Structure 1
Amino acid sequence: MLLSQKKSGNIPALTGLRFFAALMVFFSHFPIQTENQKLFLLQTSGFNGVTFFFVLSGFIIAYNYLDRFELNPLQSTPRFLLSRFARIYPLYIALIIFSWMNSGGYTPILPYILATQAWSGDLFVATGLNSPSWSISVEIFLYIIFPILIPVFRTLGILTSQNKLIALALIIISSQIAIAIYFSMPERASLLATDPASSHRWLYRGPAYRSLDFALGILAAIYYKRFFKHKTSSTGIWSFVTYSCIVYIFTLATSSTIAGSSFKWDAAYALPYTLLILSIVISSKTQIAKLLSGKKIVMLGEASFAFYLIHVLLGSMYIRQPTESMFFLIAHQALFLGFVISVSVGLHICIEKPCQKIILELFRKKEVPSKISIENQSAAIK
């Protein structure tokens, strides 16, 4: 077995980058009105930040859990699922219940409690009760399949062969492109998001399709942990990749051609986001990596989950005002954004972290008595 050479744990630069991805999604919902078409398109294309989150999820989970799932997936699965549940479910369900109460309690809440809403072909079910929550439904599905994917990759030789890993990555990317082309055909390209057969349903909010993004993130982590060898010369190349990916992503987001195609939902962004994540981890000494690793940015990144979940719910406070003053529009947006950030940090500190700690400690305490009981039984037998 080929052992990983890198340690597990948090990667500050990627945590900081999460905030900017969440910020992109924020501006897609609350764009500053401007006559500059490129700038407006850049904002409204910000939903592609969701692709970043799915790729990042695969990378971070594989970065931290690869070895243990390769050695003993069955034993590792319960603790893994518990840690993921403790991380995202408390705040998710709190906001779901709040949204349900705001709706008068008439919306069937069971699909949202079970986090299965993203599987619905009905847009109003998938995005009901706090619309960003559909992606949490997808995320939970990805958590469930992770313990299966690693043994499959091991069987295929992906964990021990760099060539097989690259081949699988190319197959996934080709599949994403082929599926996007299929949904770009005339009879499908014109379908509205409300249509169950639309590209929005299958390529943007579809859990099965999003597993491809997740798999790319996993493969990037495997490459970094198992096959990448640090060299001074290669660091400079990966630094160039970082900046190139950022420029490329911004170029895609301001392209009217991409914005009018099925590629906008995911296929255009999956590879550059994968390379961006990988390059930032490898070239951790670059200025952009250092910027993203700053304490304040990392704090915002840690609160980005709360930011992502709460920003639409707070949207009723943001009423667009008809004005020709760009200063007023920017000031108005800045105040609202500052408020959303403040609330998200508060939710992260007061709900996310305490609930996560309580859940993990609760199950840890349940495990301790069982171990003591086993020891007592062994002593009695002796």
Structure 2
Amino acid sequence: MINTLTSLRFIFALMVFGAHCYTIDKFFDTHFFKEGFVGVSFFFVLSGFIIAYNYQKRFSENKITKRAFWVARIARIYPLHWLTLFIAVALGNYVIASGAIDWLKHFLASLTLTNAYIPKANYFFSFNSPSWSLCCEQLFYLCFPFLIPIAKDYKKLLCVFLVSAILIVIGMHFTPETDIKGYWYVNPITRLPDFLAGMLLFQLYDRLKGKNITAYQGSIIEIASIALFLAFYLYTAEIPKVYRYSCYYWLPVAFLLISFSLQKGIVSRLLSNRILVIGGEISYSFYLIHLFVLLSYAEWQKGSNFHIAWYISIPILFCIIVLLSLLSYYYFEKPMNKRIKTLLNK
């Protein structure tokens, strides 16, 4: 496990949280917070890196089968997804617009993580809307074992990435504004290059990890990567949103990932703090739980005469989400992960 990258997961989950806080107060309805959707792009690239880090060598040496890999991934994403889906149903987070049959179609699409393939917001954002990203992860996991032969030669993997990146940029240019979210933000097929970028970064990491990099040099690299990311993040006014959904952030996210994966600098030492690492471990729970907590509070606030200032309510809601995430991780995620792997590997 690379502690710094685990901690970064929590930091980027916080950015996604901040991007959704506009549901509570208009203070958060600004670029600084709403651009936090970049956290999802970070997760996709990180996923490619971590999956390659954990499994590429094992596949190459025939130490794991496709079945065992897929079972491990199913055990990772589905239990909490289904739990939060049913909670969202109970909370009424999806309104039946066209009767029971229409509701059932949307429910089944969410249940099977196929809703993001349908370029309609009432599909990919139905029920617990952050779960659309799990549709992408599911495709990544399905494809990964078949990408291993290509990944053995980084030049081939790079060619596949570059061709897909060029096609995506061209496609983005010709897509009407009203369709960009459905085709370029949530669609698993068009988010696959994010995952490929992460796999490529692992190839680079594998070559750099043995290099003699001093703490001073590592610190300079880490600080430079943070500065580059902030420059991209803060100065995006002239960049069309369709590019910011993925390809615009590939460079700064890649630099950030590779610099912190080496764990050589002073910032890495800070990120290795146990509290931040635990935050990264519960980030999946945090990500899936946070929005329906925010929406439930926002709904209560609308019907109440008692108004709580955001600088009080947001920290309280954050603490509630963290507590729920801790309970979920230790008493649901981990036990269910173990049970499902045991059951499906029989």
The residue aligned with 1:335 is 316
Q: Using the TM superposition, give the Cα deviation of residue 20 of structure 1 relative to its aligned residue in structure 2, in angstroms.
A: 0.8
Letter in 2 for 1:254: L
Counterparts of 1:253 and 1:226, CA distance in 2: 29
Q: Does 1:211 align with 2:202?
A: no
Q: Does 1:150 align with 2:148?
A: yes
Asked whether the equivalents of residues 172 and 216 of structure 1 are also in contact (C-alpha less than 8 Å), the reply is no
Asked whether the equivalents of residues 114 and 135 of structure 2 are also in contact (C-alpha less than 8 Å), the reply is yes
Counterparts of 1:343 and 1:279, CA distance in 2: 32
Asked whether the equivalents of residues 258 and 264 of structure 1 are also in contact (C-alpha less than 8 Å), the reply is no
Counterparts of 1:23 and 1:259, CA distance in 2: 23
Asked whether the equivalents of residues 172 and 243 of structure 2 are also in contact (C-alpha less than 8 Å), the reply is yes
The residue aligned with 2:259 is 279
Asked whether the equivalents of residues 177 and 263 of structure 1 are also in contact (C-alpha less than 8 Å), the reply is yes
Say if 1:172 and 1:114 are closer, same or farther in 2 by CA, change over 3 A.
Answer: same
The residue aligned with 2:246 is 266
Say if 1:164 and 1:359 are closer, same or farther in 2 by CA, change over 3 A.
Answer: closer
Q: Does 1:125 align with 2:123?
A: yes
The residue aligned with 1:94 is 83
Unaligned residue ranges in structure 1 (runs of 5+): 1-9, 193-197, 367-382
Letter in 2 for 1:303: I
The residue aligned with 2:343 is 362
Query: For residues 286-323 of structure 1, what are the alpha-carbon distances to aligned partners after superposition, in whole Å with 9 as ceiling and x for unaligned?
Result: 2221222111111111111011001111123433989x
Letter in 2 for 1:23: L
Counterparts of 1:258 and 1:46, CA distance in 2: 17
Matches within 5 A, 1:227-376: 229-232=210-213, 237=217, 239-258=219-238, 260-282=240-262, 284-319=263-298, 328-363=309-344, 366=346
Say if 1:344 and 1:288 are closer, same or farther in 2 by CA, change over 3 A.
Answer: same
CA RMSD in angstroms, aligned pairs only? 2.7
Q: Using the TM superposition, give the Cα deviation of residue 102 of structure 1 relative to its aligned residue in structure 2, in angstroms.
A: 3.4
Query: For residues 171-220 of structure 1, what are the alpha-carbon distances to aligned partners after superposition, in whole Å with 9 as ceiling and x for unaligned?
Result: 5555554444444xxxx2xx32xxxxx11112110101111000010111
Length-normalised TM-score, structure 1: 0.78
Counterparts of 1:244 and 1:172, CA distance in 2: 28
Q: Using the TM superposition, give the Cα deviation of residue 57 of structure 1 relative to its aligned residue in structure 2, in angstroms.
A: 0.4
The residue aligned with 1:6 is none
The residue aligned with 1:62 is 52
Asked whether the equivalents of residues 252 and 258 of structure 1 are also in contact (C-alpha less than 8 Å), the reply is no
Letter in 2 for 1:50: V
Asked whether the equivalents of residues 45 and 259 of structure 1 are also in contact (C-alpha less than 8 Å), the reply is no
Matches within 5 A, 1:26-37: 26-31=17-22, 33-34=26-27
Asked whether the equivalents of residues 25 and 50 of structure 1 are also in contact (C-alpha less than 8 Å), the reply is yes
Counterparts of 1:218 and 1:153, CA distance in 2: 8
The residue aligned with 1:137 is 135
Q: Using the TM superposition, give the Cα deviation of residue 78 of structure 1 relative to its aligned residue in structure 2, in angstroms.
A: 0.6
Counterparts of 2:157 and 2:240, CA distance in 1: 33
The residue aligned with 1:378 is none
Counterparts of 2:91 and 2:27, CA distance in 1: 33
Query: For residues 215-268 of structure 1, what are the alpha-carbon distances to aligned partners after superposition, in whole Å with 9 as ceiling and x for unaligned?
Result: 0101111222256541236x7555434323322322333335256432221111
Instruction: Determine helix, strand or coil for the equivalent of 2:119.
Output: coil
Counterparts of 2:337 and 2:278, CA distance in 1: 17
Asked whether the equivalents of residues 41 and 253 of structure 1 are also in contact (C-alpha less than 8 Å), the reply is no
Counterparts of 2:186 and 2:275, CA distance in 1: 31
Letter in 2 for 1:60: I
Counterparts of 1:311 and 1:259, CA distance in 2: 28
Question: Which shows bigger deviation, 96-105 or 165-174?
Answer: 165-174
Paired residues, number = 329
% identical aligned pairs: 30
Q: Using the TM superposition, give the Cα deviation of residue 328 of structure 1 relative to its aligned residue in structure 2, in angstroms.
A: 4.0
Asked whether the equivalents of residues 69 and 151 of structure 1 are also in contact (C-alpha less than 8 Å), the reply is no
Q: Using the TM superposition, give the Cα deviation of residue 332 of structure 1 relative to its aligned residue in structure 2, in angstroms.
A: 2.3
Matches within 5 A, 1:141-180: 141-154=139-152, 157-158=153-154, 170-171=162-163, 173-180=165-172
Q: Does 1:13 align with 2:11?
A: no
Say if 1:140 and 1:258 are closer, same or farther in 2 by CA, change over 3 A.
Answer: farther
Instruction: Determine helix, strand or coil for the equivalent of 1:335.
Output: helix
Asked whether the equivalents of residues 225 and 259 of structure 2 are also in contact (C-alpha less than 8 Å), the reply is no
Q: Using the TM superposition, give the Cα deviation of residue 76 of structure 1 relative to its aligned residue in structure 2, in angstroms.
A: 1.6
